[in-house]
Homo-oligomer: A and B are copies of this chain.
Amino acid sequence: MTTQVIVLNGGSSSGKSGIARCLQAVLPDPWLTLGTDTLVDALPASLTSSDSGIAFADDGGVSVGPGFRVVEAAWIEGVAAMARAGARVVVDEVFLGGASSQERWRKALVGLGVLWVGVRCDAEVAAGREVARGDRTAGMAASQAELVHRGVSYDLEVDSTHAEAVECARVIAARVR
């Protein structure tokens, strides 16, 4: 089946966004990149500063409430509809709920050609890159590095600990049908 959606799942500062941009550059067809950051940017302040929404703690922890889940469900349906309408989409995601997060996406993407990709990065290395980029709360990388992969199944995994984003992208691109 033709690949219509590439789901990249990995912790903060694991290199997903860089890999997504390299995928857009190396794949011959045009691919959109959408993800958790797109959704968070679209949220009202009421859902980024309350227990009902998504909350970023000072220690890097991220918690998600029922208000966020409602809009997230609609967002996922919408991204799936884009793919059904013909767009190729790289989904740049953080499965905070591990297997249950994947299940939400799997149901919405049913019938579409999906490539599930795990983006691994050693927690300590990711934490160092978090300092280097300077725009994320300290601690997010370390707290998410293992968490987001719990119970998730992949078609392939890449590890950015010792590989450049463009190398990871080439490995993934070779699996796109």
Chain A residues packing against B (C-beta within 8 Å): 15, 17-19, 21-22, 24-25, 27, 30-34, 38-39, 41-47, 53, 67, 70-71, 73-75, 77-87, 125, 128-129, 131-134, 138, 164-167
Contacts and interface: CB of A to CB of B under 8 A. Distances in A.
B131 A22 contact: yes
Given A22-B132, A38-B38, A75-B87, 10 more contacts: A18-B132, A19-B132, A21-B134, A30-B43, A32-B39, A45-B138, A70-B86, A73-B86, A78-B78, A129-B166
Describe A's contact surface by its main secondary structure: helix
B86 A131 contact: no
B21 A133 contact: yes
A42 B38 contact: yes
Contacts of A31: 44
Contacts of A125: 164
A134 B90 CA distance: 15
6 contacts: A22-B132, A24-B46, A32-B75, A38-B42, A45-B134, A74-B82
